[in-house]
């Protein structure tokens, strides 16, 4: 498998009848329930209800988020021994079992419960790797674009539903009962894997042939001149979403109440990002994912300019937040399209290469969160979104100058 420049993009725009892009909204759900619903959403709330110190709760949440940063270490296993959809089903089942065991402990803050939750998160990221490998098997560019949108829409929507269920029912149900409900939310959507695109079994040509093929695929993806701009793109601050976690902190400066923050940044925010991700599928397929992603980054940076230039009033906060969350949802969906454009065909090592690309894509969240925070510390509340907007806009324009004139990268099947 060697990447090549294909002039026949229109031929790739015809979806295969069995692609079913909408399935990816369910295939990614097991990880979304764990990572967005529990780890990034409800875990600190549940721990606070148990009387756990906020500092310790934050440390536990940080520990549980670690698998998403390092899953490239074990995610590549989904390329071997079994079909990727089988890996997805088994990973969802294993993560659900570990989570149920954690919720059957006396408290979620006990060392055993934390260890079990960490194990559940480690199993959960197998789902991400498997999904990436399955996405890479889609040949039609239109199917890839639609699947990317449904992938992010399902992740954001089901993650928000999990937060709602955990927070709302935590005071009404026992911890063990809550665990069974969340486990069902992990396992049931994973059954969609039975309808996933057909995955051929690994050919038996011996370890030497397999290793040579994997090396060739890695070299074709990463060790080429064309890989440099793609690596810079996925590691760029474009649509990083770093401000999502900072908007709640910024609300005080714009005189927004806690109840208003809970709605606009909570359930309504999840609906906005999901709607944005779904809207990304409406972008014509003739517009490359890389170009569309950079344009979305410029629009997203412009929404942050509303915070930076407007007065410190609730109306400015609400307007900026609604537009920011919608455009960041579209950016997330288009990022998945960029990752697939970088990946090319799935081949033998699609999950491994997707895991590496996705891990690189998580870096901007960390460094932009730090830079945005420094902007607030040095120049005040308006500087936080201003720093994000300026850095993003400058980098997006520089990369857009390249991708607007370069030819799309494609892989031969």
pLDDT of residue 401: 92
Span 292-320, mean pLDDT? 93
Our count of domains for the chain comes to 2
Residues 164 and 227 in one domain: no
Span 224-244, mean pLDDT? 87
Q: What is the pLDDT of residues 36-89, one digit of tens each?
A: 788 876 777 788 778 877 667 767 877 887 888 787 778 778 877 788 888 999
pLDDT over 70 percentage in the chain: 84
Alpha carbon separation from 392 to 49, 250, 319, 389, 399 (Å, rounded): 38, 19, 20, 5, 11
Query: Which residue range forms the structural domain that includes residue 151?
Result: 3-198
pLDDT of residue 395: 95
SS percent in the chain: helix, strand, coil, step 5: 75, 0, 25
Residues 131 and 214 in one domain: no
Residues 250 and 362 in one domain: yes
Nearest to 46 by CA among 95, 110, 92, 91: 110
Final residue belonging to a domain, choices 198, 228, 260: 198
Span 133-153, mean pLDDT? 80
Asked if residues 201 and 85 have their Cβ atoms less than 8 Å apart, the reply is: no
Most confident of 113-122, 163-172, 265-274: 113-122
What 164-173 contacts at long range (C-beta under 8 Å, 24+ apart), as own/partner pairs, is: 164/267, 165/37, 166/37, 166/38, 166/41, 166/42, 166/45, 166/46, 167/41, 167/42, 167/45, 170/42, 170/45, 170/46, 170/49, 171/49
d(CA 253, CA 374): 16
pLDDT of residue 207: 57
d(CA 26, CA 190): 7
Residue 156 lies in a domain: yes
Determine which of 110-119, 192-201, 238-247, 267-276 has the lowest per-residue pLDDT on average: 192-201
User: Is pLDDT above 90 for 115?
Assistant: yes
d(CA 148, CA 139): 13
User: Is pLDDT above 60 for 255?
Assistant: yes
Final residue belonging to a domain, choices 146, 178, 198: 198
d(CA 77, CA 62): 25
User: Is pLDDT above 80 for 243?
Assistant: yes
Alpha carbon separation from 225 to 66, 220, 322, 347, 361 (Å, rounded): 31, 10, 39, 21, 19
Asked if residues 341 and 357 have their Cβ atoms less than 8 Å apart, the reply is: no
Residues 223 and 134 in one domain: no
What does pTM read for this prediction? 0.73
Final residue belonging to a domain, choices 148, 179, 198: 198
Residues 213 and 194 in one domain: no
Q: Could you tell me the pLDDT band of residue 7, with boundaries at 50, 70 and 90?
A: very low
Residue 204 lies in a domain: no
pLDDT over 90 percentage in the chain: 28
pLDDT of residue 10: 43
Residues 136 and 194 in one domain: yes
């Amino acid at each position: 498998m060697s990447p090549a420049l294909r002039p026949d993009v229109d031929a790739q725009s015809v979806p295969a009848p069995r692609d079913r892009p909408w399935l990816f909204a369910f295939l990614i759900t097991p990880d979304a329930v764990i990572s967005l619903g529990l780890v990034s959403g409800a875990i600190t709330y549940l721990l606070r209800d148990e009387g756990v110190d906020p500092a310790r709760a934050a440390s536990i949440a940080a520990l549980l988020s670690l698998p998403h940063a390092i899953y490239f270490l074990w995610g590549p296993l989904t390329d071997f021994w079994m079909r990727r959809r089988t890996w997805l089903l088994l990973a969802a089942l294993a993560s659900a079992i570990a989570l149920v065991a954690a919720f059957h402990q006396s408290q979620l803050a006990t060392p055993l419960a934390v260890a079990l939750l960490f194990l559940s998160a480690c199993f959960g990221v197998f789902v991400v790797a498997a999904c990436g490998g399955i996405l890479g098997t889609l040949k039609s560019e239109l199917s890839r674009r639609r699947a990317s949108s449904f992938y992010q829409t399902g992740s954001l929507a089901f993650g928000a539903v999990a937060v709602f269920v955990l927070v709302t029912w935590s005071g009404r149900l026992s911890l063990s009962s809550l665990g069974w409900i969340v486990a069902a939310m992990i396992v049931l959507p994973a059954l969609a894997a039975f309808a996933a695109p057909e995955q051929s079994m690994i050919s038996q040509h011996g370890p030497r042939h397999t290793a040579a093929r994997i090396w060739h695929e890695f070299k074709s993806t990463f060790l080429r001149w064309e890989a440099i701009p793609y690596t810079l793109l996925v590691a760029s601050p474009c649509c990083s979403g770093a401000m999502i976690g900072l908007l709640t902190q910024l609300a005080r400066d714009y005189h927004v109440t806690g109840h208003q923050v809970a709605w606009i940044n909570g359930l309504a925010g999840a609906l906005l990002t999901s709607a944005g991700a779904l809207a990304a599928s409406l972008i014509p397929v003739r517009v490359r994912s890389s170009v569309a992603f950079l344009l979305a980054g410029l629009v997203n940076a412009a929404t942050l300019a509303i915070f930076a230039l407007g007065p410190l009033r609730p109306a400015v906060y609400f307007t900026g937040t609604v537009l920011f969350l919608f455009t960041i949802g579209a950016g997330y969906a288009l990022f998945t399209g960029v990752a697939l454009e970088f990946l090319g065909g799935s081949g033998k090592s699609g999950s491994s290469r997707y895991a590496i690309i996705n891990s690189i894509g998580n870096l901007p969240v960390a460094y932009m969160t730090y830079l945005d925070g420094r902007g607030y510390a040095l120049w005040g509340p308006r500087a936080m979104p201003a720093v994000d907007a300026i850095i993003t806009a400058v980098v997006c324009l520089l990369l857009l100058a390249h991708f607007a004139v370069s030819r799309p990268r494609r892989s031969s099947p």
